[in-house]
Amino acid sequence: MSSSRVIQGAATRHPSTGLVHQHVIDDEIAQVRRAHEAAGVAELQPRLDYAPYRSSLLRHPTKDLHHADPEGVELWAPCFGERDVDPLEADLTIQGGGEPIGERMVVTGRVLDGDGRPVRRQLVEVWQANAGGRYVHKRDQHPAPLDPNFTGVGRCITDDQGRYRFTTIKPGPYPWRNHHNAWRPAHIHFSLFGTDFTQRLVTQMYFPGDPLFALDPIYQSIVDPKARERLVATYDHDLTQHEWATGYRWDVVLTGGHRTPLEGDLDVERGEDEEAGR
């Protein structure tokens, strides 16, 4: 191997972590973007094998899916009923003995089908990091404080108009081990259940104007910019409450051409892989 090639290879990785630098990821993201634009093919969901998102290359499906008997799955799956969900579970700021630290906010929106019709009585669950970017998870050990008054989990049932509503704290960004000095944009995970357990869908909601968008390979794995925007909430000043909370709106579309990008296509990065084990 030539000396120039050795020097070039060393320059791509940080000497202390052995992880590639951000500029390597940026170049890969740009290369994928150029190829997508040249192809001119609509691609509205996350790629399963997106090279800048390192673990997706190891974990994406490589074989055809097997059809499972829905009745057999339901025999072993959790059972959810409306009586299991307390309305207070939608307020993530009242879970401890005091107020959690951070920017209090209200997040609301509608769950819709592909024709714009409300999806009623849908179980919506959320989980998120605290204001310091820390999850209540045994594998999350990066040096940010835990908040004793914030667990970061909540749930609710959509009403007859498909509306959901949560009161929570704005999550902070946090580091992960995809590459050196990698940070995830602030986001909230959403899980939605249909009429049975096999219809569970998981996605993420982001906040407008985050400077980490361009640097994040998970967000960028949705190569179409308009599709990526569907994951970004809108600040709503009418929803914002005087001296109490900021307000954000975000709708989830489950089917059709304007479907919200989902983690059934996107990889779940929290808890199971290197992000939780940083």
Whether the CB-CB separation of 22 and 181 falls below 8 Å is answered with yes
Q: Is 174 a catalytic residue?
A: yes
Q: Is 184 a catalytic residue?
A: yes
- Of 54, 22, 59, 34, the closest CA to residue 218 belongs to 54
Q: Is 189 a catalytic residue?
A: yes
- Of 147, 109, 62, the closest CA to residue 254 belongs to 109
* The token pair that represents 151 in the structure block: 């667990």
Catalytic residue among 53, 135, 219, 248: 135
Helix (H, G, I), strand (E, B) or coil at 71: helix
Q: Rounded CA gap, 34 and 138, in Å?
A: 40
* Cβ neighbours around 66 below 10 Å, total: 5
How many CA atoms within 13 Å lie on the side-chain side of 96? Answer: 14
Bridge pairing between strands 123-128 and 182-184:
unpaired
Which domains are present in the chain? 22-59+84-253 (2.60.130.10)
pLDDT of residue 183: 97
Region of residue 88 (left: phi > 0; alpha: psi -120 to 50; beta: else): alpha
Catalytic residue among 184, 228, 230, 270: 184
pLDDT of residue 48: 85
SS (H, E, C) 166-197: EEEECCCCEEECCCCCEEECCEEEEEEECCCH
Q: How many residues does the chain have?
A: 278
Q: Which amino acid is at 42?
A: A
Q: Rounded CA gap, 86 and 76, in Å?
A: 24
Q: Please list the rounded mean pLDDT of every run of 10 residues in the chain (278 residues).
A: 39 85 95 93 87 86 76 64 82 94 98 93 96 94 94 96 98 96 97 74 96 97 94 98 98 90 56 40
Whether the CB-CB separation of 36 and 43 falls below 8 Å is answered with yes
pLDDT of residue 269: 46
Q: Is 187 a catalytic residue?
A: yes
Q: What is the DSSP letter of 214?
A: G
At CA 138, angle to CA 133 and CA 139, rounded to 5? 70
What's the Rg (C-alpha) of the chain? Answer: 20
Catalytic residue among 174, 206, 219, 248: 174
Catalytic residue among 134, 187, 230, 259: 187
Catalytic residue among 189, 230, 259, 270: 189
